[in-house]
Amino acid sequence: MHSERCTSGSARGHAKLPVARSVRRACSTQPYLPMRRGFLFLVAVMDWHSRKILSWRLSNTMHADFCIEALQEAITRYGKPDTVNTDQGSQFTCTDFIDVLKTHEIAISMDGKGCWRDNVLIERFWKTIKYQEVYLKAYESTSDARANIRRFIDFYNSFRGHSSLQGRPPDTIYFINTGAAIAA
């Protein structure tokens, strides 16, 4: 499978593509989440306009595999965005991740180094999930973390109102904008 090792910065020789303008945008970054013993990495793909989490994955390593799986699931379930915005972590600049974007003809926009504002919507989601879910619990295992995070993301997408969305949850905005039926 994919085996590139990831670090917090981009790896030497990995692609850094210019910012692109688009109609449909998705964004993604990868923070770490503390557990009772150790930590996990969480990646999520978010629809820029509605703030809907399209897909997500947990991993106990920083390899690019789980980031690629989350991206591929988002594309399969919801269609390809015009642009994906990420930070410059090597999991997003590695050849395997970039190849998925190129195959689907998706432009990539990368944050400037240390510029969290470039991807502010997903960064706000990380703050929300950390303070309203992760920091309130000390997960015992990966399966415990996965179950609780799944529950939180389902709530976040379907029920949690957002002031920037006139009090409506992301699912409502996403499905109004796409004209699709709300998924069960």
Percent of residues, the chain, with pLDDT higher than 70:
78
pLDDT of residue 163: 86
For residue 102, give its domain range: 25-142+154-178
Q: How confident is the model at residue 5 (pLDDT cuts 50, 70, 90)?
A: very low
pLDDT of residue 21: 38
Of 79, 99, 97, whose CA–CA distance to 88 is shortest?
97
Distance CA 20, CA 43 (A): 22
Provide the number of structural domains found in the chain: 1
pLDDT tens per residue, range 8-31: 444 455 444 443 333 467 767 667
Q: Dihedral of CA 72/74/80/85: which sign? A: negative
Bridge partner list, 57? 43
Has residue 11 been placed in a domain? Answer: no
| pTM for the whole structure | 0.81
Distance CA 67, CA 58 (A): 9
Where would I find the H helices in 10-119?
65-78, 90-93, 95-103
Mean pLDDT to the nearest integer, 141-154: 96
Q: Which tokens sit at 64?
A: 């690019």
pLDDT tens per residue, range 83-125: 888 877 778 888 999 999 999 999 888 766 655 566 788 888 8
Distance CA 80, CA 38 (A): 34
Has residue 87 been placed in a domain? Answer: yes
Mean pLDDT to the nearest integer, 3-8: 39
Has residue 67 been placed in a domain? Answer: yes
Has residue 6 been placed in a domain? Answer: no
CATH classification of the domain holding 121: 3.30.420.10
Has residue 62 been placed in a domain? Answer: yes
Has residue 90 been placed in a domain? Answer: yes
Contacts with 159 (C-beta within 8 Å, 6 or more apart), sequence order: 169
First to last CA, the chain: 31
